[in-house]
Each structure stands twice: as structure tokens, then as C-alpha cells.
Amino acid sequence: MRLHFMVVRRVPPVPSPVLRDVYTLLERRGFAVSDSIAEEILTRCDELEPDHDLYVLKSHTELALSLAGILHGRGARLLNPYLSCSVVQNKLLVSRRLRDAGVPAPRGWATADPRLLAEIVETTPLILKPYRGHRGAGIRLARDPGELAAVGALDDATIVQELVPGRGEDLKVYVVGEEVFTVRKPFSPTSFTRPGRPCPVPAAVRDLALRTGRALGLGLYGLDVIESPSGPVVVDVNYFPGYKGVADVAPRIADYIAGFARGRHGLAAPEPATPVRV
């Protein structure tokens, strides 16, 4: 079987250690493995047709997602499914789908006029982020009217969420199928570059993670969880993350991809959920 990984340009341009090991393990099982970076090749979009048994979408760029959409429309199999990835890239959709599925997630608002948030920020600290943001880029805080005024005009692609109080650390949750792993990291704009500290998986967090995957139709994914006074809250979701800090994760990822490629398990595209009040 032929597998093709749609990967992202890395800085510096060195291979991902996890992906390198995953490729080796899959090749030992008889798979033909290739990869490409959408931004570094020339693609004739009107002639693009599936020529692999499975495409594994690792990149989060708009170009890679768009090409995945073309392949999906031409009948290609993708992991994670294209429709799931397109939903996950949109934080507005993710927030609503999670809350509809009964998964604790922050309350959110959409506006391009910060003046409309003035009454809310009087009682609720806010976090403002690009609705298609990645790795914490572009996030701003407004804890009072003064900070909100300093933000200035909002882009119409901004999602505004309540700031969930936590322990000062980010609980990174990584999932491979039904296996869940957790890593703690301090909040930082560059925390995605560090592996963090592995920690035991609380039962409530495991349940939360698996319900998130079912709600969004994901098999390889990660969550950012805040441990609030009222319980864990999902504040972000990403498909096929880096799994930094998870020991011996490459064999698990390779097992899951091999099983998916051979049809031993599949994923349903995200469907509208029955609303649940949380």
C-alpha cells in the first residue's frame, strides 16, 4: 500500500524525529511511504487526482488543507478525514461543536467591534485569538476595559473567549486512537517548542479527550486543557500534533496509521450534535 504524508515546512528544516521513526516503522511493514510540503512543490489543481491508498494530513497550512479538500472531493482516503480537519482549523466551529456535544469549552463571542465587548469585559476577562490560529500565534488578553481599548480594532477573523482560570500551566493532551497521554507545560508563547513533563492521565481528562475526538471525527489529535476550579476545560484542539514529551509514541502512531490504511478502523466525519447545556 502507498502512503503519502502531507507535511509542513519546519524551521530549521530538519525532519521531525517522530515522523522519521513512523516512516521507518511503516516501511518495515511493507508500506511505500512518501511525503511532500505543499508550499515547495507545483501542483496542477485541475488535474490533481488520488494516486496513493492513504493521505496523512500533518500540515496545518491553508494550502495543504485546500489540496486535501481537492483530494477528498476526488475520493481519496485521508487521515485525519478532510472534513474533520477543516472543522478543527476553525476555532468558532470547534467551540460550538464541543459545547453542543457536552464537552466543557469556554463561552465565545464573534465580533469585529471591540466596543461591543465593553460590558462583558467588566466582569469576564477575555482572550482574543485568530479563528484559524495555530501554536498560540496572535493571542491577546483583555482583563479589563483598559486592556480591551489597547487591543484596538479586531480582525473579522477573531474569536473572543472567556479566559478560563487555571493553575498557570497548560495540560497538553495527546491522543492516538483510544490511547491518551498528558504532558504539563508552563504557559508561554514558545511553549510548543518544548516537550514538557509527562504526567498521569486523570480519568476526567481521558473521558474529555475521547469525547472530543468523537465529536470532531479525529483519530490523531491533541487538546489544550485548562484545569479550572470547576473541572477540566478544552480550550484548543489540533489534528496530528507533534506529540512532544510523549515517550515511545512513534510505534503507537505507526500502528494506528497501518490499521487505518488496512481498514481495521475508521473515523466518521463530524456531524451536528444534539445540543447539551453545559
Q: What is the pLDDT of residue 276?
A: 44
Looking at per-residue pLDDT, the higher value among 120 and 268 belongs to 120
User: What's the CA gap between 175 and 246, in Å, rounded?
Assistant: 10
Q: Which of 114, 192, 125 is nearest to 158 (CA)?
A: 114
| Confidence (pLDDT) at 278 | 39
Cell 514529551 belongs to 245
Q: What is the per-residue pLDDT across 188-241, written as a single tens digit (0 to 9) for each?
A: 555 556 668 999 999 999 999 999 999 999 999 999 999 999 999 999 999 999
The ranges assigned to domains in the chain are: 2-88, 91-102+166-261, 108-162
d(CA 145, CA 96): 26
Nearest in space to 76 (alpha carbons), one of 61, 58, 57, 90: 57
CATH 3.30.420.40, domain 91-102+166-261, yes or no: no
CB 152 within 8 A of CB 199: no
Beta-strand pair 108-110/126-130: unpaired
Q: What does the radius of gyration of the chain's CA atoms come to, in whole angstroms?
A: 19
| pLDDT reported for residue 188 | 59
- In the predicted structure, residue 100 carries a pLDDT above the cut 60: yes
pLDDT value at 10 more than 80 = yes
CATH class held by domain 2-88: alpha beta
- Which CATH topology does 108-162 take? Dna Ligase; domain 1 (3.30.1490)
Q: What is the pLDDT of residue 226?
A: 94
Query: How many C-beta atoms surround the C-beta of residue 51 within 10 A?
Result: 10
- Triad 230, 231, 235: Cα angle to 5°: 110
Q: What angle do CA 194, 3, 259 make, to 5 degrees?
A: 80
Measured between alpha carbons, how far is 57 from 59 in angstroms, rounded to an integer?
Answer: 6
Point out which residues pair with 227 in neighbouring strands. Answer: 232
- Rounded Cα distance between 78 and 133, Å, is 22
C-alpha–C-alpha distance, residues 138 and 158, integer Å:
10
Quick one: what percent of the chain has pLDDT higher than 70? 91
How is the chain split among helix, strand and coil, in percent rounded to 5? 35, 25, 40
pLDDT tens-digit profile of 45-64? Answer: 999 999 999 999 999 999 99
More confident residue, 22 or 149: 22
* Residue 245 clears pLDDT 50, i.e. is over it: yes
Question: How confident is the model over 5-11, as a mean pLDDT?
Answer: 91
The pLDDT of 101-127, averaged and rounded, is: 91
> What is d(CA 80, CA 45) in angstroms, rounded to the nearest whole number?
21
CA distance from start to end of the chain: 44
